[in-house]
Amino acid sequence: MEFLQPTTWTEALEMKAAHPEALPIAGGTDVMVEINFDRQRPAAVIDLTKVAELEEWGTENGMLRVGAGVTYSRIIEELGGRLPGLAMASRTVGSPQIRNRGTVGGNLGSASPAGDAHPPLLSSGALVELASASGSRRVPVREFFVGPKRNAMRNDELIAAFLVEPTRGPEQFSKVGTRNAMVIAVCSFAIALDVERKRVGTGIGSAGPTPLAAIDAEEFMAGVLDESGLWERPADVDPNAVARFGELVAAAARPIDDVRGTAAYRRHALAVLARRTFTWAWDERRRSA
Amino acid sequence: MGMGRTPPVGLMRITCTVNGKQVSADDVWAGESLLYVLRERLGLFGSKNACEQGECGSCSVYLDGKLVCACLVLGGQAEGREIVTVEGIGSDGALHAVQEAFVEAGAVQCGFCTPGLIVAAHDLLNRIPEPSTVQIREALAGNICRCTGYAKIIDAVHLAARGLAQSR
Amino acid sequence: MKPKLPPAALMSGRVGEPVRRPDAALKTRGDFPYSSDLQVDGMLWGATVRSPHPYARIVSIDSTEARSMPGVRAVLTHDDVPGKKVYGLEIPDQPVLAIDVVRYWGEAVALVAADHPEQARRAAHAVRLEYEVLAPLTNPELALTENAPRLHPDGNITRAIKIRRGDQNARADVVVTGEYEVGMQDQAPLGPESGLAIPDGAGGVDLYIATQWLHIDRDQLAGVLGLPHEAVRLTMAGIGGAFGAREDLSMQAHACMLALRTGRPVKMSYSRAESFVGHVHRHPARMRYEHGATRDGKLVYVKARILLDGGAYASSSTAVISNACCFAVGPYECPNAIIDGWVVYTNNPPCGAMRGFGSVQNCYAHEAQMDKLAAALGMDPVELRIHNAMKTGSTLVTGQAVDGPVPVAELLSRIKVMPMPTAVSGDHLDLTQMPGGVSNTTHGEGVRRGVGYAVGFKNVGYSEGFNDYSTARVKLAVADGRPRVEVHTAGAEVGQGLVMVQAQIASTVLGVHDVVVLGADTQVGSSGSSSASRQTYITGGAVKAASEAVRDRVFALAESELSGLGRGGSGESDGWRLESDAIVSADGGVVITLATLLGEEVIEETREYRPRRTSRLDGETGQANAHMQFAFAAHRAVVDVDVELGLVKVVELATAQDVGKAINPQAVEGQLEGGAAQGLGLAVMEEIQVKDGVIRNPSFTDYLLPTTLDMPQLRMDVLELGDPNSPFGLKGVGEPPAISSGPAIVAAIRTATGREIKRVPVRPHDLTL
């Protein structure tokens, strides 16, 4: 196993170009488990923790651009107000030790359907910035996940950052696990209300081969809110509509039975999570209006 | 440490600061975790190898001032960094207030989780000098103890907080 | 050449005092050496080649490539086992390394020693194994049938138990039935299986090991290695918990074989994943119960059928099924019983000892049945239990009359009246208090509170005629002008506090302040196992007996010295006692200090202590005085359940337990708290999931242990009722907390959800779909 340790972003991209087989490592919360448990012996690893550029965040044309190496702890502390859904999800990641080390970039790189950052990135329509020695591109997160633990990256690319608009309305994240802390999602759900554009964003975790958006549910609920003029004058939403929203979220999932739960339970739980998180988000909208 | 061994190919030297001293480890295989390097190459066995997947907190150390699991840090990632292990929490052979409180409260049984809990509790009390029970529970949720049922660990953190407050 | 070991512990403190752990400071500093920290210069690392199949014939093993890899010093298979090729605690049925066939997923097939652990792992991967895969027998019900494949020469039934008590045709006014299932729990001690074997150059070996019973390891190792006992010396290394996981051999024989073959010290240390296949687990159980009672709520009969899945090898299965059957009814009077139990071989992971040992599984069933019966009778569940509670003199279904305090009704009454926790207030949302915790699944929606009760009991010590004893050597001498007692036993300190108990007992009997407890090893006689809640009783009893023998010699010495000085005095007539490092007479005056009396004299005595004899269950009726002591505990659980998501928050646990005499009250509390947490784990999250013989979750990512946010506060009421038969009146403490805690939680979940719940651990989908 070869250990590559670039200190600048340019150097990192050059190394990746020269060693396309190299496995990137940042916080190590996924990669190290693979190595410690002897599940993987990559020919090379490329350590990104010395690349200062990856730890920066800033704004760019009204979007937040957050370096792939920003940890969950920093997202909670530094970006909690602007990315509340992602911050809520970050709080559920592992333990303080894991949140101090794990990064959203790493989550995207592993592309696990259970990655906690994915549902809020989906619900808020984030972009993933990929870079290689020959240039960079931005991929909508909704097109980024292409299969179980597979993403749209080419093997000469690294994840530079994700870009997302600061919150445009109430956001929620909710995750089912069979322990009250430090648990991998049995299933999870994120919702983001974009009050200005009158859009409802969703993200489903751990209930399909990839993280998913519940597009029918989004359109349905946006329509309900629109038709009744509720975006402008927030009032009670018909409980039947909320229930239908839950059903549509459940229908969007493609879960399987596995060691963490059954497919049937995941669908059931997603409907509950969707109803509850929508209700909490809508309550917040009503309070703030 | 590590003398007389012929490690596999792809070896390197790691230099970092551990508990205030600059140290080096030679012939490190690239797949070795910081936990392995601390234990087997630097002779610092205080950080424990209970799960080696970041689920138990027994190997908690400070890396550049942040609480992390040493098992999830690749040895090479520690290059040039500053690490404080449980061995660096007390001073001059004297116990730190957190350590004293764990002894006093009966928070130690088999003790395999103890070093990690000491570092995690130390970190908590640095951030929140007088934590509530709920704050203690959330902060220590990444440190599994199989013996105590946690009650005396939580007592110990309260006790340490009181001890530190008095000494300020 | 010796590795760094835990130092001998200097302590002071008497019986009944909350003496601090002598090793706690070292542990908080990270300076306490555990078995996985062992090292000496020139040491090799061992690795194990394990079967990827639950059941297969081994067609060929080719280690040519592995042997030629860099750093590799030895590759061994069953051909290299020098002595007996099989071992086992009760039945020698388990190969040291698989011979021709593998019977479970992860069974050890070959061994490698190399300079670096990664070289050992790579070489282990390079051992070429060809298997003929066989269809695994994984259903214990099928294992009972005639046409199932026979996994062992004597068939698949490791032991069958039949208990017949009273009228076999008894009829009752009210009858309730139920079927219950308990999943496979892991002890999950945090310290992985580890040890260091050092060849002595003369054909023998020293093994530094974290184990529960040094001498049974030594006896098995001597057989496997083909060596006389004295050539196999074991020394206790620092241990990271046990809970039953270290009763069987894991890497002991393997490390010794590699060390003897290479002539080099060899360390083996399992990863967490390997640990899951490296030790036995708690037996999964399937239980069918029928309870009959009179209209006023008196039990008339219990019929139970208990099937335990023992997995591929026997381990301690025959004793576990005995417990499961003996205590099948719970701590209740029941005049008539038909209990049938089996433990069978399958191709599932081997099962054996875990804290509670057979009494955990049946408690889920008998307590669910008592709640069902209470519902059928319209009675309060605690009242029904009290109405049927065993008392002193009550007879078990095995015909044994129970003497000493039997405070079942009292324990229940006490937990019933303890204050209740307050309900979560609605005005301040604290996610950590909610089912689902910080994962933000509910802000109160769907949350229902439930309260449940359970009581359980089990035997203390080894049963059914086992020749149980412990040995202690106690030495009194003067060091630095002060008398000092040195206690040496082979009793394994596993975290429970045996080291303090030994010191406290010696200090109390001998009235000496400074007591040193030496590290445990095989240079002294056996102490038996740190199992079955027995060490404080039996090794404590041995330390007491040896200390008393030393005391007698001190008095005799004093009598002769004093008469030589022309002063009279005798221990008996003058009411001497030992106190504050001196002989003190009945009037409190110092007769002579021990330092003066002893001078250069060293007084040393070794004693064996044996508890009451027991006898084996009758094969046809299961009647016998099979157990020597019984320990009782009761629990109350308050839970909040999110009934829509099936998530559970245990709000509070409360317990009452009779410990006879709390030798060390702080350590007693630690046992009650820790045991309850393990009970909580089995009730709501801990399960080794096995599919077609393969463990699907061999990691702490998916085998979930309770965290600080799962285990609530435990209210405790510790009773000290004094057993007339035991040293200081004490009772074993360690296991009862792990027995009724889980059943109380499940009872509370039933109250909160109104669901029947037939299986533990309770899963979210069991509560919602």
pLDDT in tens, C482-524: 999 999 999 999 999 999 999 999 999 999 999 999 999 999 9
Identify the pLDDT of residue B9.
54
Identify the pLDDT of residue C84.
98
Phi, psi of A218 (to 5 degrees): -60, -50
Which of B69, B88, B107 is where one domain is finished?
A: B88
Flag whether B1 is in a domain: no
- Clarify whether residues A53 and A155 are in a common domain: yes
Flag whether A116 is in a domain: no
- Clarify whether residues B72 and B117 are in a common domain: no
- Clarify whether residues B17 and B76 are in a common domain: yes
In angstroms, rounded to a whole number, what is the distance separating the alpha carbons of residues C431 and C649? 11
- Is the peptide bond prior to C435 cis by the omega test (within 30 degrees of 0)? no
Question: Touching check for C31 and chain B: CB below 8 Å?
Answer: yes
How close does chain C come to A54, measured CA to CA in Å?
Answer: 28
pLDDT in tens, C420-453: 998 765 567 899 999 999 999 999 999 999 999 9
In angstroms, rounded to a whole number, what is the distance separating the alpha carbons of residues C673 and C706? 12
Question: How many structural domains is chain B composed of?
Answer: 2
Q: What is the 3-state secondary structure (H, E, C) of C548-584?
A: HHHHHHHHHHHHHHHHHCCCCCCCCCCCCEEECCEEE
Identify the pLDDT of residue C1.
83
User: What percent of chain C lies above the pLDDT cut of 90?
Assistant: 96
End-to-end CA distance of chain C, in Å?
61
- Clarify whether residues A132 and A52 are in a common domain: yes
User: Bridge partners of C410?
Assistant: none
Kindly determine whether residue B51 and residue C699, on different chains, have CB atoms separated by under 8 Å: yes
How close does chain A come to C50, measured CA to CA in Å?
Answer: 14
Question: Touching check for C706 and chain A: CB below 8 Å?
Answer: yes
Coil vs helix vs strand at C281? strand
How would you classify residue C708: left for phi > 0, otherwise alpha for psi between -120 and 50, otherwise beta? alpha
Q: Which of A174, A179, A268 sits opposite C685 (nearest CB)?
A: A179
Question: Could you tell me the domains of chain C?
Answer: 37-135+192-239+246-278 (3.90.1170.50), 281-463+616-768 (3.30.365.10), 470-609 (3.30.365.10)
- Clarify whether residues B81 and B60 are in a common domain: yes
Beta strands in C480-563 (DSSP E): 482-488, 514-517
Residue among C5, C29, C652, C664 with most chain B CBs within 10 A, to mutate: C29
Contacts of B67 (CB under 8 A, 6+ apart): A96, A97, A100, B60, B61, B119, B120, B123
* Burial category of C729 from C-beta neighbours within 10 Å (exposed 0-12, middle 13-18, buried 19 and up): middle
- Clarify whether residues A84 and A150 are in a common domain: yes
C contacts of B113 (beta carbons < 8 Å): 190
Q: Centre a 10 Å sphere on the Cβ of residue B168 and count the other Cβ atoms it contains.
A: 6
Question: Touching check for A49 and chain B: CB below 8 Å?
Answer: yes
* Burial category of C513 from C-beta neighbours within 10 Å (exposed 0-12, middle 13-18, buried 19 and up): middle
Flag whether B106 is in a domain: yes
pLDDT in tens, B121-160: 999 999 999 999 999 999 999 999 999 999 999 999 999 9
Q: Centre a 10 Å sphere on the Cβ of residue C7 and count the other Cβ atoms it contains.
A: 15
Angle at C41 between CA C35 and CA C44, to 5 degrees: 70
Q: Residue C292: pLDDT above 50?
A: yes
C contacts of B144 (beta carbons < 8 Å): 190, 700, 705, 707
- Clarify whether residues B29 and B60 are in a common domain: yes
Q: Residue B6: pLDDT above 50?
A: no
Flag whether B109 is in a domain: yes
Flag whether A242 is in a domain: yes
- Clarify whether residues B101 and B148 are in a common domain: yes
- Indicate the residue type of A40: Q
Which tokens go with C154? 């004597």
Residue among B77, B86, B134, B138 with most chain A CBs within 10 A, to mutate: B77
- Clarify whether residues A138 and A180 are in a common domain: no
Residues of chain A under the 70 pLDDT cut = none
User: Bridge partners of C632?
Assistant: C457
Q: In what order do the strands lie in the sheet with C56-62?
A: C101-102, C56-62, C128-133
In angstroms, rounded to a whole number, what is the distance separating the alpha carbons of residues C731 and C722? 8
Flag whether A117 is in a domain: no
Q: What average pLDDT does chain B have?
A: 93
- Indicate the residue type of C107: E
- Clarify whether residues A160 and A175 are in a common domain: no
Q: Which residues of C702-717 are buried (b: 16+ CB within 10 A; e: fewer)?
A: bbbbbbbbbbbbbbbb
Residue B2 banded pLDDT, cuts 50, 70, 90: very low
For residues C206 and C458, the answer to whether their CB atoms sit within 8 Å is no
Which of B49, B68, B88 is where one domain is finished?
A: B88
Strands C690-691 and A150-151: unpaired
- Clarify whether residues B104 and B76 are in a common domain: no
- Clarify whether residues A41 and A99 are in a common domain: yes
Identify the pLDDT of residue C739.
98
Flag whether A119 is in a domain: no
Task: For residue C299, give the H/E element and its range.
Answer: strand C299-311
- Clarify whether residues A145 and A259 are in a common domain: no
By residue range, what is the domain housing residue A73?
A: 2-110+126-164
- Clarify whether residues B83 and B101 are in a common domain: no
Taking CA–CA distances from C712, the nearest residue in chain A reads A180
For residues C164 and C338, the answer to whether their CB atoms sit within 8 Å is yes
Flag whether A105 is in a domain: yes
How close does chain C come to A245, measured CA to CA in Å?
Answer: 16
A contacts of B143 (beta carbons < 8 Å): 95
Q: Centre a 10 Å sphere on the Cβ of residue C100 and count the other Cβ atoms it contains.
A: 9
Identify the pLDDT of residue C423.
72
Identify the pLDDT of residue A257.
97
pLDDT in tens, C117-144: 999 999 999 999 999 999 999 999 999 9
Q: Residue C378: pLDDT above 90?
A: yes
Flag whether B125 is in a domain: yes
Per DSSP, C31 falls in state -
Beta strands in C393-495 (DSSP E): 447-460, 470-479, 482-488
Phi, psi of C189 (to 5 degrees): -60, 140
Identify the pLDDT of residue B5.
38
Coil vs helix vs strand at C631? strand
In angstroms, rounded to a whole number, what is the distance separating the alpha carbons of residues C244 and C259? 27
Identify the pLDDT of residue C553.
97
A contacts of B55 (beta carbons < 8 Å): 182
C contacts of A184 (beta carbons < 8 Å): 701-702
Question: How many structural domains is chain A composed of?
Answer: 2
CATH assignment of the domain containing A48: 3.30.465.10
Identify the pLDDT of residue B1.
31
CATH assignment of the domain containing B22: 3.10.20.30
Flag whether B3 is in a domain: no
Question: Touching check for B139 and chain A: CB below 8 Å?
Answer: yes
- Clarify whether residues B40 and B107 are in a common domain: no
Strands C603-609 and C590-593: unpaired
Flag whether A120 is in a domain: no
- Clarify whether residues B75 and B16 are in a common domain: yes
In angstroms, rounded to a whole number, what is the distance separating the alpha carbons of residues A99 and A71? 6
Coil vs helix vs strand at B104? helix
pLDDT in tens, C613-655: 999 999 999 999 999 999 999 999 999 999 999 999 999 999 9
Q: Residue B3: pLDDT above 70?
A: no
- Clarify whether residues A34 and A87 are in a common domain: yes
Which tokens go with A254? 């493609």
For residues C103 and C313, the answer to whether their CB atoms sit within 8 Å is yes
By residue range, what is the domain housing residue B130?
A: 97-167
Flag whether B5 is in a domain: no
Which tokens go with C508? 């109390």
Beta strands in C678-761 (DSSP E): 690-691, 694-695, 714-719, 759-760
- Clarify whether residues A147 and A51 are in a common domain: yes
Q: Residue C605: pLDDT above 80?
A: yes
- Indicate the residue type of C437: G
How close does chain B come to C114, measured CA to CA in Å?
Answer: 9
Q: Centre a 10 Å sphere on the Cβ of residue C155 and count the other Cβ atoms it contains.
A: 14
How close does chain C come to B25, measured CA to CA in Å?
Answer: 15
User: What percent of chain C lies above the pLDDT cut of 70?
Assistant: 99
Flag whether B4 is in a domain: no
Flag whether A148 is in a domain: yes
- Clarify whether residues B158 and B127 are in a common domain: yes
In angstroms, rounded to a whole number, what is the distance separating the alpha carbons of residues B24 and B45? 16
- Clarify whether residues A240 and A133 are in a common domain: no
Q: Residue C203: pLDDT above 60?
A: yes
Identify the pLDDT of residue C679.
98
- Clarify whether residues A73 and A91 are in a common domain: yes
Question: Touching check for A97 and chain B: CB below 8 Å?
Answer: yes
Identify the pLDDT of residue B10.
67
pLDDT in tens, C16-40: 999 999 999 999 999 999 999 999 9
CATH assignment of the domain containing B145: 1.10.150.120
Which of B36, B65, B88 is where one domain is finished?
A: B88
Residue C567 banded pLDDT, cuts 50, 70, 90: confident
Flag whether B16 is in a domain: yes
Kindly determine whether residue A179 and residue C697, on different chains, have CB atoms separated by under 8 Å: no
CATH assignment of the domain containing A247: 3.30.390.50
pLDDT in tens, C727-740: 999 999 999 999 99
* Burial category of C564 from C-beta neighbours within 10 Å (exposed 0-12, middle 13-18, buried 19 and up): exposed
Identify the pLDDT of residue C574.
86
Which tokens go with A2? 């070869």
Phi, psi of A101 (to 5 degrees): -120, -40
Q: Which of C271, C439, C697 sits opposite A177 (nearest CB)?
A: C439
B window 35-94, beta carbon within 8 A of A? 52-55, 57, 60, 63, 66-69, 71-74, 76-77, 79
- Clarify whether residues B110 and B159 are in a common domain: yes
- Clarify whether residues A218 and A202 are in a common domain: yes
